[in-house]
């Protein structure tokens, strides 16, 4: 189990599903996504205000600059991480298929 938790990098979801049931793990997933969304939104607003202060441009232009930066960076990250490694396939294997072999 320690090896599985090390591979998934998200042990709370696995533990909640195994010991508290599927409904609780869905609740944990919802709260985690809510937290991630809130953190990303806070960073986005902070960067928008920073670019507005630095460039002294229109606020909509500042928001567009930060949005372009976020979209380009995230798109490149997804393209390079998925093409360079089979992370999603390994994660699926370790969280589903490996459990079938252990039982």
Q: Cα dist. 25→5, 34, 95 in Å?
A: 15, 14, 14
Confidence of residue 21 (pLDDT cuts 50, 70, 90): confident
Dump pLDDT digits (tens) for 42-59.
887 887 777 778 777 777
pTM: predicted TM-score of the whole model, two decimal places: 0.47
Residue (of 99, 102, 94) closest to 10 by Cα position: 94
Check residues 23 and 77 and name the one with the higher pLDDT.
23
Per-domain boundaries in the chain: 2-102
Percent of all residues in the chain with a pLDDT value above 90, rounded to a whole number: 0
pLDDT of 70 strictly over 60: yes
**Alpha-carbon Rg for the chain in angstroms:** 19
Q: Give the tokens for residue 76.
A: 């490149």
What's the average model confidence in pLDDT over 58-65? Answer: 78
Residue (of 25, 46, 44) closest to 36 by Cα position: 44
Residue 22 · residue 6 · CB < 8 Å = no
Confidence of residue 30 (pLDDT cuts 50, 70, 90): confident
Residue that is written with structure tokens 């995230």 in the block: 74
Q: Is 37 exposed, middle or buried (0-12, 13-18, 19+ CB in 10 A)?
A: exposed
Question: What per-residue confidence (pLDDT) applies to 24?
Answer: 84
């Amino acid at each position: 189990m320690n090896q599985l938790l090390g591979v998934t990098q998200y042990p709370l979801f696995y533990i909640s599903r195994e010991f508290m049931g599927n409904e609780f793990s869905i609740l944990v997933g919802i709260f985690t996504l809510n937290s991630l969304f809130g953190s990303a939104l806070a960073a986005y607003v902070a960067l928008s205000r920073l670019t507005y202060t630095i460039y002294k441009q229109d606020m909509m232009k500042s928001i567009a600059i930060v949005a372009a930066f976020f979209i380009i960076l995230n798109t490149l990250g997804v393209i390079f991480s998925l093409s360079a490694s089979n992370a999603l396939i390994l994660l699926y294997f370790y969280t589903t298929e490996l459990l079938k072999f252990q039982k």
